A and B are shown apart, each in its own frame.
Chain A
Amino acid sequence: MRARRHPVLARSGLLDSSLAPAGVLLLRALGTTLVVYSLLGLWLAEHAEPLWLVDTAREWLNRALGIGEDFGGFGLCLLLLTHGWDEAAAHARGECAKDRIRRLLGHWLPVVVATVVAIGALSFGADVLTRPDTVPQPDLLHALGAVTLADQVLPQAAPLLPLAWLVLVQIAGSLLASASRRTGRVVWLAPAAQLVAVSTVGVLGVSPGPTHRVAEIVAFLPLVVIGQVAYQVWAREISSYLGTSLGLLAWVVSAAISNTHATLRHWWYPVTFLFAVLLFLVTVRTSGRTADRVARNSVVRWIADRAQWLVLLPGVVCYPVLDALHTRLPMALTAVTAASAVAIATEAGDFVTRSALRPRGSR
């Protein structure tokens, strides 16, 4: 294996991918930024507030490229791809069970914090991003469902944190990757086994029933697999042709599931998946001095390292601020204020969880 340790990425904390080229960090930052941007776009759409940037981007980029949801789905796809890469990189560097648990806790703890903030905001009557739009006054059962992520898959549950399915896919992807490594020394068997598992769930969830909602979420799991395969090709564990075949198979599985589920069909996810995968591969492949320079930027690193927080907190911090201020301040100023509130909440949450998860004896 010819993978090298990257000086910038090695310093970048819980979500670091120290065996990755700078491009992976850039994509994580880009994916996160796009998710935040899309949440802003969603709020604007729901409140019929025009914003030149969002409207122009919709007409010139979203419609032209066929990537919907103001690039939100695209951003989440990039985060899943980078998660798959991190998973494979962690395995390659011999990550121990303790570190793996700590890494997964780092993904999950923002869900707990965001749930607490959401319940607090809702109890004060604030506007929080929920699906469906109106959630009754949350009780302990709601909180439990959100924290355990069960509300993402239970048929009748209303998710308190609509984007927490990302964490579910990340954790499921990591667990599936760990389990599939028991297939033995043949490296490509692990991603192939994961795809078989994903396809099985996808087929089981075609008809309405308890597995239907699981299958909708599972449609995104192949992206985690593609991220792993990309790493394996990059690290020369498998050939590029085998990697390409597995990647195509993963895209087919993902496209087939999204095509057979009525709720996913009209979102054009196969297009979004393909753009995300191609951008991911091109960035990893061409990552060079320019990518290194950008990755050294502290803002980029900050965003990339706090991706989980920045995906989950806007719905529960940004939305109440936007709701409270948009009638009093100009829209652009309101957006900046809301973004600042998210940044402060993110930094606070990240500081607390990093302190909690830091191994004993380390600074």
Chain B
Amino acid sequence: MTGAPSSTRKGNRYLHGLDLLRVLAAFCVLYIHLTGWLLHAHHPWPVGDAVNALVVRPLRLEPDLANLGITTFLIVSGIVTTHVALRERPLQFLGRRAARLVPALAVTVLAAWPLATAGLLMTSEDYDLADVVANMFLVNYFLPDTPVVLDVTWSLTVQFSFYFFVAATIPLLRRWPWLPPAIGATTVSVLLSLINTQDTPAEHQLRVIITFLPVMFLGQLVSLVRSGQLAPAAGIGLGAVHFLLFVRATLTNETIPGGSANPRIVALVMLVVLLVGPSRGRIVTRPWVRTLSSRTYSVYLAHKVAAYPLLALLSPSIGWVAALLVALVGVGVATELLYRCVEMPINKWYRKWLEPRTNPRRRRPGENQGRARATEAVPRSR
């Protein structure tokens, strides 16, 4: 916190705090899944007991910090993607998101396939090639009798839905910034009334998407208010509507999002994002924070695929503590491989080769530089 209010150029200042929040969110996700494995294997887990006693119970959160990380990811993603959407065209926006997200997803699902088939990912399904292909593009969530290879990918259905919505409303976002979140609220409200059965996988997943979409819209509103596109009063009003939609979704369904603490988690994370996001202190501006932050998507995808098999294979022979340490190293290695060999190369290739072909106007030298700097005002989007 600083005494001086931020300058009029605050909209162009890099939000270092979001980097730190993404790193913390990744740790939360990693923590809950490692805790889940240890509890499932009936190992004592004093760290989990301590976290539940010191943080979860006093703050009445979900056990083992469930949904804390994913809520942070969704809000931060809403902020970042809205920021870049204001500077991109709809197809360009979708192309960039797809180039960053889909290849890494597909590769991770392919890598997870044999491990899941061998029962090393705490699943017991038989997967054929069609199932795997469906999983690579998240179609599995909408098809009957299609098992999930990697369950953490559920949140990407929410993010992709938000990206499609943002892409479709980019012209509105530039002209009437209040309109897309208002349309989003109306649409979610109507869909919450219509979709409340879980008879088919598609209905279940649609309910998941419309439950969590308001969380991403909260991030969008933060971005719009911060960039000066939307008046604070309008942002607070629309934010209240989206928060109440999330509460409504929680009140009207017993299993999605699961747990009565979720509205509390969303509200707490939202306040923390508002507080920490604009920070420019010593810790948040460290290069390692930015380095870790850029790898959070790879951590998110790879941590289960790397950690669970190592834990399952090594804990009987070397004990669960040593196996846990090896698993953490494994997560680091898998993350780095996915980031350096898949996520970044394909993303760079797409930006270097494909974009000038689809948009010859941008080939002119120097034209991209201003925009490139502007998009750096918030952490890199996925």
Interface stretch, picked from B29-37, B262-270, B307-315, B361-369, is: B262-270
Instruction: Please determine whether A66 and B3 come into contact, CB atoms closer than 8 angstroms.
Output: no
Instruction: Please determine whether B283 and A65 come into contact, CB atoms closer than 8 angstroms.
Output: no
Instruction: Please determine whether A234 and B3 come into contact, CB atoms closer than 8 angstroms.
Output: yes
Instruction: Please determine whether A278 and B271 come into contact, CB atoms closer than 8 angstroms.
Output: yes
Instruction: Write the chain A residue with the least CB distance to B250.
Output: A64
In the complex, whether B58 has a CB less than 8 A from a CB of chain A is yes
Chain B residues numbered 37-91 whose CB sits less than 8 Å from any CB in chain A: 58-60
Chain B residues numbered 216-268 whose CB sits less than 8 Å from any CB in chain A: 231-233, 244, 247-248, 250-251, 260-261, 263-264, 267-268
Instruction: Please determine whether B244 and A234 come into contact, CB atoms closer than 8 angstroms.
Output: no
Q: How far is the CA of A73 from the CA of B271 in the complex (A)?
A: 19
In the complex, whether B274 has a CB less than 8 A from a CB of chain A is yes
Chain A interface mostly helix, strand, loop or mixed? Answer: helix
In the complex, whether A121 has a CB less than 8 A from a CB of chain B is no
Q: How far is the CA of A86 from the CA of B275 in the complex (A)?
A: 21
Contacts A268-B60, A278-B268 given; indicate if A240 touches B279 (C-beta within 8 A). Answer: yes
Q: How far is the CA of A278 from the CA of B244 in the complex (A)?
A: 19
Instruction: Write the chain B residue with the least CB distance to A230.
Output: B1
In the complex, whether A113 has a CB less than 8 A from a CB of chain B is no
In the complex, whether A165 has a CB less than 8 A from a CB of chain B is no
In the complex, whether A288 has a CB less than 8 A from a CB of chain B is yes
A-B pairs with CB below 8 Å: how many? 78
The one of A59, A233, A241 that contacts B251, using a Cβ cutoff of 8 Å: A59
In the complex, whether B356 has a CB less than 8 A from a CB of chain A is no
Instruction: Write the chain B residue with the least CB distance to A243.
Output: B1
Chain A residues numbered 198-252 whose CB sits less than 8 Å from any CB in chain B: 230, 233-236, 239-241, 243
Instruction: Please determine whether A282 and B275 come into contact, CB atoms closer than 8 angstroms.
Output: yes
Q: How many residues of A contact B (CB 8 A)?
A: 37
Interface stretch, picked from A34-42, A269-277, A341-349, is: A269-277
Q: Which chain A residues border B4 with CB–CB below 8 Å?
A: 2
- Minimum distance in angstroms from A17 CB to a CB of chain B: 14
- Minimum distance in angstroms from B264 CB to a CB of chain A: 5
Instruction: Please determine whether B279 and A66 come into contact, CB atoms closer than 8 angstroms.
Output: no
Q: How many residues of B contact A (CB 8 A)?
A: 31
Q: Which chain B residues border A123 with CB–CB below 8 Å?
A: none
Q: How far is the CA of A65 from the CA of B2 in the complex (A)?
A: 28
Q: Which of B2, B58, B260, B263 has the most CB of A within 10 A?
A: B58
In the complex, whether A255 has a CB less than 8 A from a CB of chain B is yes
Instruction: Please determine whether A233 and B1 come into contact, CB atoms closer than 8 angstroms.
Output: yes
- Minimum distance in angstroms from B315 CB to a CB of chain A: 34
- Minimum distance in angstroms from A56 CB to a CB of chain B: 10
Instruction: Write the chain B residue with the least CB distance to A234.
Output: B3
In the complex, whether B373 has a CB less than 8 A from a CB of chain A is no
Contact pattern, B 194-213, Cβ under 8 Å of A = 1, otherwise 0: 00000000000000000000
Contacts A234-B3, A236-B3, A240-B1 given; indicate if A286 touches B274 (C-beta within 8 A). Answer: yes
Q: Which chain B residues border A236 with CB–CB below 8 Å?
A: 2-3
Instruction: Write the chain B residue with the least CB distance to A289.
Output: B232
Q: How far is the CA of A61 from the CA of B5 in the complex (A)?
A: 31
Q: Which chain B residues border A271 with CB–CB below 8 Å?
A: 58-60, 264
Chain A residues numbered 169-196 whose CB sits less than 8 Å from any CB in chain B: none
- Minimum distance in angstroms from B154 CB to a CB of chain A: 23
Instruction: Please determine whether B2 and A240 come into contact, CB atoms closer than 8 angstroms.
Output: yes
In the complex, whether A12 has a CB less than 8 A from a CB of chain B is no
Q: How far is the CA of A23 from the CA of B309 in the complex (A)?
A: 52
In the complex, whether B357 has a CB less than 8 A from a CB of chain A is no
Q: Which chain A residues border B268 with CB–CB below 8 Å?
A: 274-275, 278
Q: Which chain B residues border A230 with CB–CB below 8 Å?
A: 1
In the complex, whether B352 has a CB less than 8 A from a CB of chain A is no
In the complex, whether A3 has a CB less than 8 A from a CB of chain B is yes
In the complex, whether A284 has a CB less than 8 A from a CB of chain B is yes
Q: How far is the CA of A282 from the CA of B283 in the complex (A)?
A: 19
In the complex, whether A60 has a CB less than 8 A from a CB of chain B is yes
Instruction: Please determine whether B58 and A241 come into contact, CB atoms closer than 8 angstroms.
Output: no
Q: How far is the CA of A2 from the CA of B4 in the complex (A)?
A: 7
In the complex, whether A337 has a CB less than 8 A from a CB of chain B is no
Chain B residues numbered 280-296 whose CB sits less than 8 Å from any CB in chain A: 281-283
Q: How far is the CA of A64 from the CA of B279 in the complex (A)?
A: 29
Q: How far is the CA of A3 from the CA of B278 in the complex (A)?
A: 20
Q: Which chain B residues border A21 with CB–CB below 8 Å?
A: 5
Q: How far is the CA of A63 from the CA of B267 in the complex (A)?
A: 13
Contacts A275-B271, A282-B275 given; indicate if A64 touches B1 (C-beta within 8 A). Answer: no
Q: Which of B5, B251, B281 has the most CB of A within 10 A?
A: B5
Instruction: Please determine whether B279 and A281 come into contact, CB atoms closer than 8 angstroms.
Output: no
Q: How far is the CA of A285 from the CA of B278 in the complex (A)?
A: 10
Instruction: Please determine whether B5 and A60 come into contact, CB atoms closer than 8 angstroms.
Output: no
Instruction: Please determine whether B59 and A60 come into contact, CB atoms closer than 8 angstroms.
Output: no
Q: How far is the CA of A285 from the CA of B231 in the complex (A)?
A: 17
The one of B2, B58, B232, B267 that contacts A255, using a Cβ cutoff of 8 Å: B58
Q: Which chain A residues border B260 with CB–CB below 8 Å?
A: 63-64
Q: Which chain A residues border B58 with CB–CB below 8 Å?
A: 255, 259, 270-271
Chain A residues numbered 258-273 whose CB sits less than 8 Å from any CB in chain B: 259, 268, 270-271
In the complex, whether A340 has a CB less than 8 A from a CB of chain B is no
In the complex, whether B272 has a CB less than 8 A from a CB of chain A is yes
Instruction: Please determine whether B263 and A241 come into contact, CB atoms closer than 8 angstroms.
Output: no
Contacts A241-B281, A241-B282 given; indicate if A66 touches B60 (C-beta within 8 A). Answer: yes
Contact pattern, B 173-206, Cβ under 8 Å of A = 1, otherwise 0: 0000000000000000000000000000000000
The one of A235, A241, A281 that contacts B3, using a Cβ cutoff of 8 Å: A235
Q: How far is the CA of A64 from the CA of B263 in the complex (A)?
A: 6
Considering the complex of A and B, which 10 residue pairs feature the smallest CB-CB distances, nearest first?
A64-B263, A278-B271, A270-B58, A290-B232, A2-B3, A64-B247, A282-B274, A233-B1, A255-B58, A234-B3
Extra contacts besides A60-B248, A268-B60 (20): CB < 8 Å: A2-B4, A3-B3, A59-B251, A64-B247, A64-B250, A64-B263, A64-B264, A233-B1, A234-B1, A236-B2, A240-B1, A241-B282, A259-B58, A271-B264, A274-B268, A278-B268, A278-B275, A288-B232, A290-B231, A290-B233
Q: List 19 A-B contacts (CB under 8 A).
A: A3-B3, A60-B247, A60-B251, A61-B247, A63-B260, A64-B260, A65-B263, A230-B1, A235-B3, A240-B281, A259-B58, A271-B264, A274-B268, A275-B271, A278-B268, A285-B275, A285-B278, A286-B232, A288-B5
